[in-house]
Copies of this chain bind each other. A is one copy, B any other.
Amino acid sequence: MENLRELNLKLTAESLRKAIHKDIIIVQTIHSIDNLIAVISKLLSNLRERYGYYNSESMKIEDQKQLLNEIKKFKKGKVGIDLDKEDLDSVLDLVEVIEKLIDTKEKQEKYLETLMKKECPFLLETAGPLVGARLISLANDLKHLAELPSSTIQVLGAEKALFRHLKEGARAPKFGVIYNHESISKDKNRGKAARHLAAKISIAVKKDYFRKK
């Protein structure tokens, strides 16, 4: 009886292991990363708001890490209202947690790349880790993404604009999440670049999926 129970536990664990594909982990990880990106931008705009009263010059700095370093160097007594020690400490606490968030985001991105190298190396190479993982997430998993035509991959993530196009005759969207890929933001003719990239991704993801099967 005891043995039977143990065997049962083992079999359950085994079937769980088979049921949960690694692409689910990829989807969860890109969710974490996209959450972290949103969170960092929210807290940074809050920090700009708070720190701007003490040193309005800093508001002009666009680069995230540069802004954080600038604030850490800040000394009391510049133009702006005076900072008590506790005011400064509180602002610096915010700086510290944002630095930690940026660091975590970078680590999660590396982890995502490791996962994708094993699971879908062709997609990783063609689309990059973030765009590739967002496409898997939008299609639910690798299998469904492999079944989509290239024209759908091109507009994945632009569903709102697509339905506006179909229902109200608005302009058709040229791209969804693949917009963030460098080959598109660099190209003058973005529509054409998006079509090309989507076609390449469509082939890459089919290679990945059927290699696994």
Q: Which of A's residues lie within 8 Å of B, judged by CB?
A: 9, 12-13, 16-17, 20, 24-25, 28-29, 31-32, 35-36, 39, 42-43, 46, 49-50, 53, 79-82, 86-87, 89-90, 93-94, 96-97, 100-101, 104, 107-108, 111, 114
Contact = CB atoms under 8 A, between A and B. Distances in A.
A86 B114 CA distance: 9
- With most chain B CB atoms within 10 A of its CB, the pick from A46, A53, A94, A97 is A97
Given A25-B50, A28-B49, A97-B100, 6 more contacts: A13-B81, A24-B53, A29-B50, A36-B43, A96-B100, A96-B104
Total copies of this chain within the assembly:
2
B108 A104 contact: no
Contacts of A29: 50, 90
| A contact face: mostly helix, strand, loop, or mixed | helix
A31 B49 CA distance: 10
Contacts of A28: 46, 49-50
A42 B33 CA distance: 12
Contacts of A31: 46, 49
